[in-house]
Structure 1
Amino acid sequence: MTQTKTILIIGTYDTKADELAFIETVIREQGGHAISLDVSVLGDTRHPVSHSKHDVAAAAGASIAEVIASGDENTAMALMARGACALALRLHEQEAFDGMIALGGSMGTDLALDVALTLPLGVPKYIVSTVAFSAIIAPERLPSDVQMILWAGGLYGLNALCISTLAQAAGAVLGAARAARPPSPARPLIGITSLGNACLRYMKILKPELEARGYEVAIFHSTGMGGRAFEALAGSGQLVMVFDLCLQEFNNGLFGSIINSGATRLESAGAAGVPQIVAPGAADLVDWPTWAPLPESFQNRPRHVHNKLISSLTINAEERAYVAREIAVRLNGAKGPVHMLMPLHGVEAWDCPGEVAHAPDDLARFYAALRSSLGPHVSRTELHCHINAPAFAQAALAVFDAWVAEGIVPKTAATGPLRSTA
């Protein structure tokens, strides 16, 4: 607790100076330092700031007068967001701060999300917002490690409720900065997408086998935000290869579910040239909030109710063919090697005889569309097994080992012939 950490505080100091100053006071009382970044446009602040609105506008290549003359509040704040991102990134590269906290309504939150997306994974990012947790925030706007705190009863000035929230937020970001350990894996890092054991089980074999070969393994829960983190890490080159074996959240995006990972799902690894072993795990389902009304097109579908948050709905043969074609579009555009594994006897636990999603003819339609849509550079293996069978995981490892031998995936000191632990 004796570590001195500096927090970047972002907000509109013309309208929220008291609230932002209170955050700064709490951080200093707790032994931290603070620097402030003013993203106001029209007004001036009586509170001294480390980086003024003029600095922010200049970082966007404009003046405040040009920001004001840009059109309306949306265009003005877009310019300020651009400047705030550039300035925050420059300050981070200079090691000027250890974590960020921003305060705002919908406008301030919009800007704060842009800044948080600009900063790398591992930098603590807290946003105190009147629209925290709101469905108006699209999944692709959320950084994989952002923390949001609802600013309840705090609009227009301090009060007991506001003070309580801001004090906790200030303590949280300072504590996170003290405890933070930015990811720096000592071994090559591999990403795997999956769901829990009740649905998909290949990771129980893959993880120990890959670790025995000298790799570090991160498994991403494919329920929306897990895919966001997976895409961000793959796209930034932090993963040496990926086993993208669960595509349910990709389906969710195609069919309009809010439980999705944004428009770039299944694209970032390919765009970065990261080697991909892909399989259609749970690609026969669409997640929908259990509490939400179903769209008319999904009424009366067989479903698996997972809990009060998520239910999984089956998709029909025509929809599966559409999914297969969309998967192929993404994989065909990949710049790196791609291998598709096709488990012909089922793609998740409820795709078994007697289970709610079992529809062999529909699955056959999916694979027919996939075969006809994948480009020649996407290699593939058809497996006469279920995705949860040990044979599936062993087939994935066989492709991986071949890629290591060919130099497609970097070797480690432990890489070599191993006796299977499966």
Structure 2
Amino acid sequence: MKTPRILVIGTGDTKADELRFIEGCIREAGGQPISMDVSILGDPPYPPDYDKHAVLAAGGHHLDKAVAGGDEMSAMTYMAEGAAALTRRLHDEGRIDAFIALGGTMGTDLALDVALALPLGFPKFVVSTIAYSHLLPPDRIATDLMMILWAGGLYGLNSICKAVLSQAAGAVVGAARAVIVPPRAKPVIGMSSLGKSCLSYMVGLKPELEKRGYELVVFHTTGMGGRALEAIAAQKGFVAVMDFSLQELANFHNGSVVNSGPDRLENAGIAGIPQIVAPGAIDMIDMPAWQAPPSHLKERTYYAHNRLIGMVTADDETRRAVARKIGAKLSTAKAPVAFILPTRGIEQWDQEGEPFYDPSGLRAFVDEMGKSVAAPAELHAIDAHINDPLFVETALAILDRWVAEGIVPAGRPDATEAA
């Protein structure tokens, strides 16, 4: 490709040396740096391509307003709005091929907003002193964001800092050169699931959906997977969503960090995307396996899946509360919704002879779910387990009907994905 144009975002008044260094590394890697200054009080000792006045103006703000309150957080919030708007405009006008931002907590806060403003497939890289920290909530992290910890990057250049910045420069230039932007030759259906040992419906659905001319994209619902599904749905990246694993919603309701934010199961409906929904794995509450379960869950059945993640079973009332939450979210959808309710189990270990088998809990959920799905949403209760063939058949029947009714666009069986 032509020389990739890399937008470099940072506070030039405090990090001029670091920004100039990474711009040099970008040039050495074969890229063209384009600078955006997001300083508030000071000015960089060089003329940026986009200064703070241009950034603020892109968000409808002025420097006087940004500094008037004397509140650094408010000022940087204005700057973040402008940086996100200006970066999106530069993207839409085809003037940049990737972006990279440098920062501590303030700079990272701003960079996360910029990344969220950009579509899937556009390279996004953040060099941060809080990369991978629990300070970063899942709903602030863009679908395909790349990060690296800015070790030794608090103040000034040093050998460790240079090693990090040079790697980041090479990574973002390489990403801009190598990225294959999704061609969208076929209509895309988004699906949520867990591993095949827990939820296996995608094994039967994938070939059938591909036969109908759709591309299926499956998201792993262990926190960031659901976040990615929600983010792409919000950008109207699917023609339909099969949201069959709602474990992250149950986790959020129970205060687990293994969640996708408060808007799980909302964005497809807001965007007017038809949804077929099922309650896969809502009976399990995930948590980090390297922490002890919270005291109120210590009496529940616990299973460590690996050294990273473990889960406990939810009690009857918790399942009823999750059912009500699901119903409330579905009621706000602006497109057709069908809810498939398997009455014989909602994940592999939720059946007789398995460790999470809990007939009382399943009955409580099924009862409450039946009350919580209200018209115009459709309720399809099936006398089957979620991993049974009848579940796949039911989902396909609903989709086929919606295609025939013009609710979901027909697939393109003869289309081929561009290389």
**Normalising TM by the smaller chain, what interval?**
over 0.9
- Partner of 1:275 in structure 2? 274
- Partner of 1:314 in structure 2? 313
Distance (whole Å) between structure 2 residues aligned to residue 399 and residue 294 of structure 1: 39
CA contact (8 A) 2:186 2:412 kept: no
CA contact (8 A) 2:190 2:241 kept: yes
- Partner of 2:110 in structure 1? 111
Distance (whole Å) between structure 1 residues aligned to residue 375 and residue 201 of structure 2: 27
CA contact (8 A) 2:190 2:219 kept: yes
- C-alpha deviation, 1:70, in angstroms: 2.7
- C-alpha deviation, 1:413, in angstroms: 4.5
- Partner of 1:360 in structure 2? 359
- Partner of 1:63 in structure 2? 62
Runs of 4+ in 1 over 6 A off after TM superposition: none
Distance (whole Å) between structure 1 residues aligned to residue 213 and residue 62 of structure 2: 53
Distance (whole Å) between structure 1 residues aligned to residue 345 and residue 238 of structure 2: 28
For structure 1, the 5+ residue unaligned runs are 416-422
Taking the TM superposition and a 5 Å limit, the aligned residue runs for 1:27-66 are: 27-66=26-65
- Partner of 2:221 in structure 1? 222
TM-score (norm 2): 0.97
Q: Percent identity?
A: 53
The answer as to 2:90 corresponding to 1:80 is no
Distance (whole Å) between structure 1 residues aligned to residue 294 and residue 21 of structure 2: 45
Q: What is the SS of the residue equivalent to 1:339?
A: strand
Distance (whole Å) between structure 2 residues aligned to residue 18 and residue 270 of structure 1: 46
- Partner of 2:134 in structure 1? 135
- Partner of 1:404 in structure 2? 403
1:289-319 Cα shifts (integer Å, max 9, x gaps):
1012322211121022111111121000010
Deviates more, 1:352-361 or 1:102-111: 352-361
- Partner of 1:188 in structure 2? 187
CA contact (8 A) 1:324 1:366 kept: yes
Q: How many residues align?
A: 414
Q: What is the SS of the residue equivalent to 2:345?
A: coil
- Partner of 1:203 in structure 2? 202
- Partner of 1:254 in structure 2? 253
Taking the TM superposition and a 5 Å limit, the aligned residue runs for 1:232-381 are: 232-381=231-380
For structure 2, the 5+ residue unaligned runs are 415-419
- Partner of 1:419 in structure 2? none
CA contact (8 A) 1:288 1:310 kept: yes
TM-score (norm 1): 0.96
- Partner of 2:174 in structure 1? 175
1:8-53 Cα shifts (integer Å, max 9, x gaps):
0000001101111111001111111010000001112112311111
Distance (whole Å) between structure 2 residues aligned to residue 347 and residue 303 of structure 1: 17
The CA RMSD measured in Å over matched residues stands at 1.2
Q: What is the SS of the residue equivalent to 1:112?
A: helix
Distance (whole Å) between structure 2 residues aligned to residue 314 and residue 61 of structure 1: 49
Distance (whole Å) between structure 2 residues aligned to residue 281 and residue 66 of structure 1: 48
Q: Which amino acid is the alignment partner of residue 372 of structure 2? A: S
Deviates more, 1:280-289 or 1:299-308: 299-308
CA contact (8 A) 2:108 2:126 kept: yes
Distance (whole Å) between structure 1 residues aligned to residue 312 and residue 228 of structure 2: 24
- C-alpha deviation, 1:286, in angstroms: 1.0
- C-alpha deviation, 1:144, in angstroms: 0.8
